[in-house]
Amino acid sequence: MSRLAAVKPFIYLGVSVALIVLATMFFMWSVGYLERAMIATGLLSALIGFSLLSGGLYALRVSAYVYGAEKGAEEGGEA
Amino acid sequence: MMSRIPRIVLEVLPRLTAAIVLWENIDLLLRLLPRVVGGPIEFLAALASLEGLPTAIGLASSVLAALTVATASPMLYAVTLSILAVAKGAAGYAVSPASIFGMLVILFSDTLRPVYRTGQGASLRLGYRDLIKGVVGAAAVLGMVILVAVGAGLYVGRFIDYMVSAGTRAVSKNLVLAGLLMNPVVRLIVVLVFTLLFYKLLTHAFDSAALFAFPSRRLSIQVLRDRSGIDASIEIPLNTLRGMIIAMAVAPLLYASIYRVVMPLATQLMPQLGLLTTFVARVAITFLLFTVAYTVVSRFINRFLEGSPESVLGIAVGVAVFVYACAVLRSVWLGAPLVRALTSPDLEGLGSDAVDSYVKFYALFFYLVELLLRLVGAAP
C-alpha cells in the first residue's frame, strides 16, 4: 500500500508527460495539415492539441502536489 | 569602501544594460532620420505619414530607453524592447541579441538588489560544490527557458508561413477564406494565442519542478483541499469561433421553421405580417437568428463544460419539442387531421425545407460577409 503511495505521483507524472507529448504531436500534425492546405483539419488538430495540453498540465500539477503531500509527510514523521 | 562594490555593481549594471538599448535606439534614429528630416512642419508631417511610422515609434522608444537608464526598471526595459522591436521590424531590421540578453541581466540584478545587504559579499562562504550547483541550476533554468522560447518562436513562424501560403493558394477558390488567412490581425491573434499557451506551459512546468525539488506538505495539502488551486485549465482559444460554427448549424433550422411553417400560418391569421417576407426583413432576420443561435449556443457550451447537465438536457428537449411542433404544424397546414398530424408529423418535409434553407441562408450570409470584408479592405 505504501509502495503504491510512493509510486502514485509518478503515475500522474507519466500520464501528464504522455498527454503533453501527444499534444506536441497534434501541434506538429496541425502544421503538417496546414502545409498541405487542409486548413480546417489543421485548426482542428491544433484545438485537440490545446485540449490535450490542458489535461497534461492539470495532471502535471496534481502529480507535483501529490508528491509534495507524500514526501512532506515522511519528513514531518521523522521530525 | 571595498564592501560597497557589489552594491555599486548591482546599481550600475542594469543601467549600463539599458544604455545598450538606448544606443540601439539612437543608431536606428540616425539611420532613419535623414529620410524624413526637412523643416519642422515637414518633419511632423513625415512622422504622421505611413513612411515615418518607424521613426515615430523609434522616437517613443528612445524616450522610454532614457527613462529605463534612469530607473533601471525591468518592466520599463521589457516595454522599451518590445516597442523598439516593432520600430526596427517596421524599418526592416531585427533587434540585436545583446539587448535581448540584457533582459536577463536586468532581471537578475533586479532580483538581487532588494535582498542584498551591504557587506554581505564579504561574509559569504561558498564551497565549490555549492558554486557548481548554483551555476548548473541557473544554466539549466535559463537553457530550458531559452529552448522553449526559441522552439515556440520557430513553431509559430512556420504556422504563420503555412497559413499565409494556404491563403495565397485559396485566393482563386474562396475569397473570404483567403482574406481571413492573410489578414494581419488574424496572424497577430494566432501569434498571441500561441505565445500565451507556451507561457502557461512554462510557468506550470516550473511550478511543478519547484515542488518536486522542494516538496512541502503544508502547501500541497492546502492546495489539494481547494479545487480552484490546482485547476490548471487553459482557456481553449477561439471559443467564439467554435460557438459560431455550431450556431451555423443551428440557425438555418430556426430560419426554416419560422419561414416555412410559422410564417405562412401567421400571415393567414394576420396579413400585415407579410411585411416580414420582404428581402430586407429576411436579411435582418437571418442575422438576428444567427446572433440568437450564437448566444444560446455559446452559453450552452460553457454550461456543458462547467458540468451542469440539467440545462443541456433542457435545451436539447426544448429543441426537439420545437422541431416536433413545427413538423406537426406543417402536416396540419398540409391538411391532415390533428390526431394524424400528432402521430405522424411531417418531418421529411421539414428536413427538405431545412436543406433548402441551409443553401439559401448561407448563400445570403456569405454574400454579405464577403461584401463586408471587401468594404473593410480585408479581402481583395
The predicted pLDDT at position A79 comes to 36
- Measured CA to CA, the distance from residue B84 to residue B279 in angstroms comes to 52
> CB–CB of A50 and B234 under 8 A?
yes
Q: Nearest residue of B to residue A48 by CA position?
A: B236
Cβ pair B220, A68 in contact under 8 A? yes
The domain of A62 spans 3-74
Q: Is residue A42 part of a domain?
A: yes
Number of domains into which chain A is organized: 1
Q: Is residue A68 part of a domain?
A: yes
* ipTM topping 0.95: no
Q: Which residues of B touch A (CB under 8 A)?
A: 155, 158-159, 162-163, 165-166, 169-170, 177, 181, 197, 200-201, 204-205, 207-209, 211-212, 215-221, 223-224, 230-234, 236-238, 242
Q: How many CA atoms lie within 13 A of A48 on its CB side?
A: 16
The grid coordinates of residue B154 equal 520557430
> CB–CB of A31 and B159 under 8 A?
yes
HEC profile for B55-74? HHHHHHHHHHHHHHHHHCCH
The predicted pLDDT at position B373 comes to 65
Cβ pair B345, B330 in contact under 8 A? yes
Q: What is the Rg, in whole angstroms, of the alpha carbon atoms belonging to chain A?
A: 18
Q: Is residue A45 part of a domain?
A: yes
Q: What is the Rg, in whole angstroms, of the alpha carbon atoms belonging to chain B?
A: 31
The predicted pLDDT at position A19 comes to 92
- A39 near B CB under 8 A: yes
pLDDT digits (tens, 9 = 90+) for A4-41: 777 888 888 899 999 989 998 998 888 888 878 777 78
Report the residue from B159, B205, B221 with minimal CB separation from A69: B221
CA-closest candidate to residue B99, choices B18, B14, B13, B11: B18
**Other CB atoms within 10 Å distance of the CB of residue B54:** 23
Output the pTM of the full model.
0.57
- In angstroms, the separation between the Cα of residue B302 and the nearest Cα of chain A is 15
pLDDT at A78 over 50: no
The residue type at B49: S
What is the DSSP-derived secondary structure letter of residue B172? Answer: T
What is the DSSP-derived secondary structure letter of residue A6? Answer: H
Q: Is residue A79 part of a domain?
A: no
pLDDT in tens, chain B (380 residues): 566 777 788 888 888 888 888 888 888 888 877 666 666 676 666 666 666 777 778 888 888 888 888 888 888 888 888 888 888 887 778 888 888 888 888 888 888 888 877 666 666 777 788 888 888 988 888 888 888 888 888 888 888 888 888 778 777 776 667 777 777 777 888 888 888 888 888 888 888 888 887 777 887 777 777 766 656 555 555 666 777 777 777 777 777 767 766 777 777 777 777 677 676 777 777 778 888 888 887 776 666 656 566 777 887 788 888 888 878 887 887 777 777 777 777 778 777 777 777 777 777 777 666 666 666 655 55
Q: Is residue A63 part of a domain?
A: yes
Burial letters for B340-349: b for 16+ Cβ neighbours within 10 Å, e otherwise? ebeeebbbeb
The grid coordinates of residue B369 equal 460577409
Cβ pair A15, A64 in contact under 8 A? no
- What angle is formed at CA B281 by the lines to CA B276 and CA B283, rounded to 5 degrees? 140
What is the DSSP-derived secondary structure letter of residue B276? Answer: G
Residues of B in contact with A65 (CB under 8 A): 211, 220, 223-224, 230
- Measured CA to CA, the distance from residue B217 to residue B195 in angstroms comes to 33
The predicted pLDDT at position A77 comes to 43
- Measured CA to CA, the distance from residue B344 to residue B164 in angstroms comes to 52
> CB–CB of B162 and A72 under 8 A?
no
- Cβ neighbors of B253 (< 8 A, separation 6 or more) are B323, B354
B377: left (phi over 0), alpha (psi -120 to 50) or beta: left
